[in-house]
Amino acid sequence: MTRILALAVLLAASLTGAARADSVSVAVAANFTKVAEDLAPLFTAETGHEVRYSFGATGQLYTQISQGAPFEVFLAADDERPSKAVSDGLAVDGTVFTYAVGSLALYSTSLDLSDGKAVLEDGQYDKLAIADPATAPYGRVAMEALDALGLTTAVTPRLVTGQNISQTLQFVETGNAELGFVAASQVVGKSSVWIVPAELHEPIRQDAVLLKLGEANPAARAYLAFLRGERALAVITAAGYAAP
């Protein structure tokens, strides 16, 4: 009986410990997909909590959040929608912060982009991929860059639009477009990349926020705290983002 009682106590302790481990549902901008996936096991190892991701264009994710999607944390690709989530009553005031600063890149698997501006101006290509400017911040800043270069009218007939930045990258890598504007973090280590000068577009400040649905969830608050920590920051900067 003593042995049985001891086993029962151990089992109860184990179940109690498991009950303290929570999970958090995070809506993540598509450009941050690989980094978020790399951060997940580190977060679990550090906190004991699990994380579930949903990836998409920032605008599409915001629409889902406004329609009641069960997300608890929002990692956007801009600094506009997290603040809007607070003003719209969807997120917790005082929890917005910048978790990464992105860079825009022109990428090709077939063209030499050592002078990306010249390639765009020469027009020796059929298709230029871009994320939907209406929903994807990287698509919006890509259009800003084209405007600044005076090329919008010339390239518009050549544009193919991805639903998000991940699909835009796919267009280039499958040959459906000879080149495309993507997040620099997506093409780290690739050979034919032109980093678009920052002065050609608005800064890409990517903000996070705690949504109202996650306000009482310890795992949601733990995830945001983890994201601001040195361990996460090291992964984020290694992936090609600038530190906040």
Q: What is the pLDDT of residues 123-159, one digit of tens each?
A: 999 999 999 999 999 999 999 999 999 999 999 999 9
Q: What are phi and psi of 240, to 5 degrees?
A: 105, 5
- Would you say residue 5 has pLDDT above 90? no
- Would you say residue 19 has pLDDT above 70? no
pLDDT of residue 20: 53
pLDDT of residue 244: 86
**Cα 226 to chain center, whole Å?**
16
Pair of tokens at residue 56: 């998409």
pLDDT of residue 243: 87
> What are the chain's domains?
22-101+204-238 (3.40.190.10), 103-200 (3.40.190.10)
> What percent of the chain has pLDDT above 70?
91
pLDDT of residue 8: 40
pTM for the full predicted model: 0.87
- Would you say residue 34 has pLDDT above 80? yes
Q: Mean pLDDT, the chain, as a whole number? A: 92
Counting Cα atoms < 13 Å in the Cβ hemisphere of 104 gives 28
pLDDT of residue 15: 39
Q: What is the pLDDT of residues 173-230, one digit of tens each?
A: 999 999 999 999 999 999 999 999 999 999 999 999 999 999 999 999 999 999 999 9
pLDDT of residue 127: 98
Mean pLDDT of 94-101: 98
What does the alpha-carbon distance between residue 118 and residue 159 come to, in Å, rounded to a whole number?
Answer: 17
pLDDT of residue 57: 97
Q: Which residues pair with 107 in a beta bridge?
A: 180, 193
What does the alpha-carbon distance between residue 196 and residue 186 come to, in Å, rounded to a whole number?
Answer: 14
Q: Are strands 193-195 and 104-108 parallel, antiparallel or unpaired?
A: antiparallel
Give the angle subtended at the CA of 108 by the CAs of 105 and 110, to the nearest 5°.
160
